[in-house]
Amino acid sequence: MNKIVDWRAYVDSQVSAQYVSPLMPKAGETVTLSIRIPSESPVTDSFLVAFVLGRTIRFQLRRDSNVTGEQERKTSYWRASLRMPNIDGLYWWFELKADDTILYYAAAGFLNYSPAIRDCFRLEADLQVPDWIPGGVCYQIFPDRFRKGDPSVGVRPGEYEFDGAKPQVLGWNEKPLEFAQGRCLDFYNGDLRGIADSVEHFVAMGVSVLYLNPIGVSRTIHRYDCCDFFHVDEKLGGDQALIELIEVMHEHGIKVVVDISINHTGTDHPWFLAAQKNPQGPEAAYYYKNEDGSFAYWEGVPTLPQLNYGSMGLRELMYRGENSVMRKFLKPPFNQDGWRLDVADVVGRRGEDQFCHEIWREVRTAVKETKPQAYLVAEDWVDASSHLQGDEWDAAMNYYGSSRPIRRWVGETDRFQLPGWGHYPVPGSYFSGIDLADALDRQLRTLPAQLLFQQFNLIDSHDTPRLHNNHLVYDWDVYRGAVMLLYMLPGIPNVYYGDEIGLDGEIGSVEASRYPMQWNEGDWRREYWELYRRLGELKRSEPALAYGAWKILHADRTSLVFARYDGERAVVLLLNKSARLRTLRFNASALIPAQAVRWSDGTRVDVSPNGEISVGLAARESEILLLRQL
């Protein structure tokens, strides 16, 4: 090792299970913080400097004597222990004395000056987050389009009229209708029993969490137009069907998270009907009105009147009260495991009313009081860090840090640069590996590190065209690499139903991304199934993909090397879209690699004494390496 130049590449610390113990401390608990320093470095003295209750305190680092053998010859862990403060969180950096120079090492890496707070490592006390999200795999289901299990339930053609149309029932092999033809009333009559009947499919994929789009009483196929928050739609099987579904999933170790929109109701909700009938009644206070006295609607959609959380009575019904909606389904006999929060960034916002943060802090308190391990994941398409500080959401649907940059890498224009709702993603100036590295790095460093392991990563959803259906940019090999990256990111990957079989669909509308699931395995694209199945197996079996640290090892115009590691093993993605055969060379010295094998076929990959790795890749081929660390 070159002591002057190279030794810093071996220095490492993060807020991860490898370096912080316990990773989720309680206030007043002793926490041990560590840094890894190469044994042959010129470091002669080392300290941890912490901000504690408004002042800095220096702690002498002590070498961990439990590290022995070959690892000790290469590297050492230096640690300090201190008591976790009960307020303000804990911020720290390391000071290393080397060659008569003081070096500062913080979350931002090596610095030549005392770090600012934003550059420091950060730890929060008493975070209530579910321990079943890291290392898991989530599967999203749009209930009407997934599977028919109970022939006795479902809508009947023409059963009612809503929004100027009547329900239609389509055959399972028919295409969904566009909005102008179907008015979101084109049912396939998938139900909750059909989901329960599919449990072996989920197990085969390594799924640990189901996310169900709304299931409350409603008129449309999407069910965001809720008519009764307190009961499950009878068209799906009703309350008992949900109870039985969750029982089946729990027996197989699978949690269930359900979508809810507390931002609005449907126009057929009894509250709204009462508000229209009696402007002086209590329900009238539940809704916003425009200056002309007309009711206000979310995004101007005339079937979705916006709820007004200036009403304390509404807050009591939705989440404060012991028998409120958001508490009820977390308790027996339902035992739901969490909530997905629709249009969460606009809830409580209208004009001078800006209740959004206040509402979500109150919701979190209510939900965690009822079920401390419940998961709160919110819809937000941009940087959601203001809501992700440990006192509101556990996670955001990570469009900002996964879907949007990944789709740019594949070749789409970012949806925010497109007209309308962005449902026709034309090709654009695609991301290079350097661009993608920058986008990932920015988002990963924006959030409190403990919450990275809770993030909800995705490529597709019910609100986006399926990436593999975009014929304008699709390439199987590039898509395969994009899915690999989804499973590598800190947090939990979300698979939108049907992606695992290459489900048909089109671009241009949300309706085109909601084709019915196909259960004839002869129609499946087997390469998709094998990819998602094997990645699910990898995600569930590699501890480094749960609470492991992350690092970008290399980026160039057509490649990115992204690693997760935990001190014993590392999982390294070689993401590549070069149009030519290439040899990808990178330095993995920060991982202290001892040996490496290719995930695709188990063949051995040489690792030089200095941590240099070279891998031959076919055109547009991506690969995962499994590394054993010293």
Q: What CA dihedral angle connects 581, 583, 584 and 587, to 10 degrees?
A: 180
Q: Dihedrals φ, ψ of 465, to 5°?
A: -65, 150
**Sign of the dihedral through C-alpha 44, 14, 385, 128:** negative
Sheet-wide strand order for 62-63: 20-21, 30-38, 75-83, 62-63
The model's pLDDT over 565-587, given as tens digits with 9 standing for 90+, comes to 998 999 999 999 999 999 999 99
Rounded to 5, what percent of the chain is helix, strand, coil?
Answer: 30, 25, 45
Mean confidence (pLDDT) of the chain: 95
Say whether pLDDT at 454 is over 50: yes
Residue 555 reports pLDDT greater than 70: yes
Strand partners, 598: 625
Residue 13 predicted with pLDDT over 60:
yes
Task: Judge whether residue 4 has pLDDT over 50.
Answer: no
Burial profile 545-557: b = 16 or more Cβ within 10 angstroms, e = fewer: bbbbbbbbbbbee
Residues 391-446: tens digit of each pLDDT: 999 999 999 999 999 999 999 999 999 887 788 899 988 899 999 999 999 999 99
Q: Which fold has domain 7-123?
A: Immunoglobulin-like (2.60.40)
Residue carrying structure tokens 């999982």: 571
48 contacts 89 by C-beta, under 8 angstroms: no
pLDDT at 630: 65
Quick check: 410 and 430 in contact, CB under 8 A? Answer: yes
**Pairing relation of β-strands 43-52 and 623-629?**
unpaired
Q: What is the pLDDT of residues 78-105, one digit of tens each?
A: 999 999 998 788 999 999 999 889 999 9
Query: What pLDDT, in 10s, does the model give residues 237-281?
Result: 999 999 999 999 999 999 999 999 999 999 999 999 999 999 999
Q: What ranges do the domains of the chain cover?
A: 7-123, 548-629
Determine whether 144 is exposed, middle or buried from the number of CB atoms within 10 Å of its CB (0-12, 13-18, 19+): buried
553 three-state secondary structure? strand
Residue 71: its pLDDT value, please? 53
- The CATH number of the structural domain formed by 548-629 is 2.60.40.1180
Lowest mean pLDDT among 109-123, 144-158, 320-334: 109-123
Which two tokens mark 307?
Answer: 């709820």
**Could you tell me the pTM of the whole model?**
0.96
Are 7-123 and 548-629 the same fold in CATH?
A: yes
Query: What's the average model confidence in pLDDT over 109-135?
Result: 95
Residue 66's pLDDT is 72
In the predicted model, is pLDDT for residue 52 greater than 90? no
pLDDT the model gives residue 201: 98
Cβ-based neighbours of 356, under 8 Å, separated by 6 or more = 345, 346, 347, 348, 349
Question: Residue holding tokens 């009960």?
Answer: 86
Across the strands, what pairs with 50?
Answer: 57, 92
Question: Is a pLDDT exceeding 90 seen at residue 124?
Answer: yes
Kindly give the interhelix angle for 476-488 and 526-541, rounded to the nearest 10 degrees: 20
What do you get for the CA distance between the two ends of the chain, in Å?
16
Q: Establish whether the linkage from the previous residue to 22 is cis, with ω within 30° of 0.
A: yes
pLDDT tier for residue 67 given thresholds of 50, 70 and 90:
low
